[in-house]
Chain A
């Protein structure tokens, strides 16, 4: 994307005199700014959505006053945070206290450089993309420990120590789970990983149910691996049920206790950036990234027909169970199905890979994370370690071996 942007800049007559190196630097800067804008805007939108989702789960309305349906609430909150007094506690370590939040933010923003949004839309097509993302995102823990230690507050210290233990523990199963996918692809390049998931095939290679060639359907082992990854990643980004570093009811706000104003906003920003990153990784590695779930436009029509049938069954089920008739899922799916049948252009657009499918997948995963957060209680710190070392880690190792055996059996690799 940087290269094409530089070429595009140079294609103008007035600008062509600046030379390739300046054009390159300029486009580098533009891309970096775009990524930051994406992360910041994304956080503002996600905070709003999280509030609304939690409100709907809790029979409330959520923000309703600022803007239509409260859409400007988070903008107002962000402005409020920017105006707040910048407080550094007297006994705090000023240098670490100041740079801690920035390290977290930078680590979580920089990872987006390697994330492909679509087949053309990515900042840097790295051949070690996955490795880069995993390694850079683990720098976050450094910032958290810094922030917690520098606050000179016992609660912050507890939060930071818990966070360090948690993130380091979960990094291992998460990494091994990703390796089991890399073993299938044979590449760390995120674009290659996505490209190898094109098309439609059988479930688990042999069961004759036509499903997209995503790695979640590749083998039973990778199917489990996807959930192992999701659980591990939820822990890595400190979200409920694994939010013990900032567990509100125990540690007040954990490592964020002493922070306010802009610095606190940076924590928030990076938290949502990390959640989005995890959602991107799940959809890239297991759900086919920007690949469409449909092979061609007949696939779209048949697929939506199946979804409509499910919607009809669901409506009947709800009617029997609760004596209430809910037309929303049925109506929505029928409208989409009809439009896919009536307008072949729409169906072809749906069958083609692109940004739309990527964002759809990411949005679904983020919704899942929010659903977790507003449903589950929180684990205790030793239970969390138990889950990591005694459940998820052995499971991910078994998956890795299982995937290897599966590939040998299914003839994908020969020795």
Chain B
């Protein structure tokens, strides 16, 4: 059908806008409701993480990593700690490894809950968001129990943990898992299977595997396109080779492979897989062990450089650290998944309507703290 082309209007979405997930600004070139070009403008939340890191000792960088991806602070800390540990060649006690995996996966559930809930919010469903936050609250309670903080933990230290989990933590986590596995069915009932929701999300913003790989998209958004890359599985770090879990892939159940619905649903399935991993880790968790046994007294990695990547809830989180043998890193570069994931927005988002751009942006699940660093 021939379309009538009228004058194009530039519409400024953000930095203050309810659904740009932070202080992101999108310059939309619109032709009526159709968006012909999207230009993300970033930098409104720039806090000089990398420059800060060049002036701080290694252990002092840890809290800053949590502030980058504030919805998955445990994941960021975990990645950074592992990178420095690998440089120094530290062997960790078993209990530390298990507890780290438990926290990282709980954090993945919490982060995906926000992603799923806010995606619902972006397409106009308010209630599922509250349901998701109800469960996230329970996870935050667990984190508070262990670390004393609810959002930014500084719990995973280089060579260990800040302190051991308090008594009763394991039971409470089991309790949460029993509860959570039932609640996922609730989300599917209220959101995933909803006809309007499917209309809004299926076939919208289709990301082919080629596009995803070309733009460096990682994490659930990449797997939704059908590319089976999960660093926990392809290059197992920590102790992920000991657990049994599936890597959910987008199947195009409601439309095309790699559409917004797939990106949403992969996250729902991943939460269930993470719950499985947490359960296995709790079953195998060694009772004895000093979580600070391997914490080095002096953190001075040998001269050299390292690039270490781990699977954050949003995708591949890489740390490139250069050391000159002193206690302060020469350079800490963070390869943040959301930054690369956002870059694809014009490729998959142009030609859709304003409402669809919101849905596509929501399905990519970005965190501005991590993009701007």
Contact = CB atoms under 8 A, between A and B. Distances in A.
Interface of A: 54, 57-60, 154, 158, 240-241, 243-244, 247-252, 374-383
B358 A250 contact: yes
A58 B127 contact: yes
Contacts of B131: 58-59
Nearest to B354: A250
B9 A377 contact: no
A154 B33 CA distance: 12
Contacts, number: 78
B200 A247 contact: no
Given A58-B131, A249-B358, A379-B196, A240 B17 contact: no
A121 B356 CA distance: 48
Contacts of A247: 124, 355
Interface of B: 9, 11-12, 17-19, 33, 120-127, 130-131, 134, 190-191, 194, 196-197, 199-200, 353-356, 358
**Main DSSP-derived SS at the A contact region:** loop
A383 B134 CA distance: 32
Contact of A380 (B120, B121, B125, B200): B200
Given A241-B124, A248-B18, A249-B124, A379 B200 contact: yes
A199 to B, nearest CB: 38
17 contacts: A58-B127, A247-B124, A248-B18, A249-B18, A249-B124, A249-B358, A252-B17, A376-B125, A376-B194, A377-B120, A378-B125, A378-B196, A378-B200, A379-B199, A381-B355, A382-B33, A382-B353
Return the 4 tightest CB-CB contacts between A and B, nearest first: A378-B124, A377-B125, A58-B130, A249-B19
Contacts of A154: 9, 11-12
A250 B190 CA distance: 21
A377 B123 contact: yes
B353 A158 contact: no
A380 B123 CA distance: 9
A154 B9 CA distance: 9
A50 B19 CA distance: 23
Contacts of B353: 380-382
Given A58-B131, A382-B353, A249 B196 contact: no
Given A247-B355, A377-B194, A383-B199, 13 more contacts: A58-B130, A154-B11, A154-B12, A158-B354, A244-B355, A249-B18, A249-B121, A375-B190, A376-B124, A377-B123, A377-B125, A378-B200, A378-B355
A375 B354 CA distance: 22
Given A154-B9, A378-B123, A241 B196 contact: yes
A374 B124 CA distance: 9
Contacts of A377: 120, 123-125, 191, 194, 196-197, 200
A241 B353 CA distance: 17
Contacts of B17: 252
